[in-house]
Amino acid sequence: MNPANDISSESILKDFPTLKRRFDGKRLVYLDSAATSLKPESVIEAVADFYRNHNANIHRGVYRLSQEATALYEETRKKLKRFFNVPEDGEIVYTKGTTEAINLVVISWARKFLKRGDTILLSQLEHHSNMVPWQLVARERDARILYIPIDDRGNLDMDFFLNAIKGGVRLVSVNHISNVLGTMNPVEEIAKVAHENGALVLIDGAQSAPHIPVDLRAIGADFYAVSGHKMLGPTGTGFLYAKKSLLKEMDPYQAGGDMIREVTLEGATWNEIPYKFEAGTQNIAGIVGLGAAVDYLETIGMERIREHGERLALETRRRISEIEGVRLFGSDDSSPGGVVSFNVGDIHAHDVGTILDSYGVAIRTGHHCAQPLMERLGVPATARASFHIYNIESDIESLYNGLKKVTEVFGKWS
């Protein structure tokens, strides 16, 4: 990899083989990184190299191949600890991604410690994966859920939060950056106030980890969930950060091999943290690939990635707002997650996406697993363009030209 000093240049595109694809003679313009990022060649090669040269199960083997696999697997944990400034060893638990990480907390912490009458504080911005698990456990434990409202620009009503947190809230769970609006929430302030009022804090970092510097020591959250596949890593990878004191109190999420210390016919005792939460054979090759993704991101620098995404998102909002009938959602300010959601007149978002695809432009359409937010916005769905380091200025122009074609196909709207 040899990224240019200016990551908006086309030189970085060669690191991403998927961008060589052409559709109907048109180059691929990939604007769906909020759903999953493309993978650089170095990540793909790291996965392939594992299977070619190091394929063995981890932790259990005394032979050299197994020891190599174990070292590679654990090296990624060290990289993640450094990359996210994790306070202590043992506080990173591998998962398939953010969804599994949140469910781990729900099952291993909430089922054990949530009591009747406790309050869980969420927000209207949340992805379904940070709503539905809490709804299930709240029903099971006879707890209640309150939702922090948002204003028309997508910002949390912090006055509501400050009042609600004084009312016996047991846990606050909010995203760091919205997958629909690109809103970045003040998570450090939320964690500080929550702790002052005796509540724990979980942050959904699915959209923040790929785009901005994340300092878990500074944020101070009790739990932080990350998806590896959104930060240039393989699918089926991610992790839960959790304070060691909480992990010690939590019960295992799954039972089986490698998460035990001793098993008898009468019962079992658990392995040390974090291994008591990593039952069975993990996605070892994927975790090795995630380590390669961290290397790639570090080489470029997260501040540069943030600036790049913000600049592309702002320019996209400016450019497509010139098209008659385009309605933009969220704030006109910068979007650190590189997300722009919009609709075109009364044309359904799916139709917008289908026509754009015929011009090689790939966007996401629908409710983005955030149906309560769609209801708050007063729409059934939106179109969403989302950017990462492999997007360039001409991608915005391709989107603009595609949207002009959309308006031509559908003509004037009511």
Residues 195 and 291 in one domain: yes
Q: What is the dihedral of CA 101, 102, 105, 111, to 10 degrees?
A: -140
Give the residue numbers marked as catalytic.
369
What pLDDT score was predicted for residue 333? 76
β-strand partners of 386: 32, 339
Domain C-terminal end among 241, 267, 298: 298
Residue 195 lies in a domain: yes
- The three-class DSSP label of residue 324 is coil
Residues 308 and 291 in one domain: no
Residues 150 and 163 in one domain: yes
**Percent of the chain, pLDDT > 70?**
97
Residues 281-340 have pLDDT tens digits of 999 999 999 999 999 999 999 999 999 999 999 999 999 999 999 999 998 877 788 999
The model scores a pTM over 0.85: yes
Residues 358 and 328 in one domain: yes
Residue 70 lies in a domain: yes
The CATH number assigned to the domain holding 369 equals 3.90.1150.10
Report the number of distinct structural domains present in the chain: 2
Q: Is pLDDT of 2 > 50?
A: no
Residue 57 to residue 280: CA distance in whole angstroms: 10
Residues 305 and 291 in one domain: no
Residues 383 and 406: beta-carbon distance below 8 Å? no
Residues 32 and 340: beta-carbon distance below 8 Å? no
Residue 199 to residue 193: CA distance in whole angstroms: 9
Residue 105's domain comprises 45-298
What pLDDT score was predicted for residue 1? 38
Residue 1 lies in a domain: no
Residues 82-109 have pLDDT tens digits of 999 999 999 999 999 999 999 999 999 9
Domain C-terminal end among 244, 270, 298: 298
Domain C-terminal end among 298, 331, 358: 298
Mean pLDDT of all residues in the chain?
94
Residues 167-217 have pLDDT tens digits of 889 999 999 999 999 999 999 999 999 999 999 999 999 999 999 999 999
Residue 5 lies in a domain: no
- What is the identity of the amino acid at 392? I
Q: Is pLDDT of 73 > 70?
A: yes
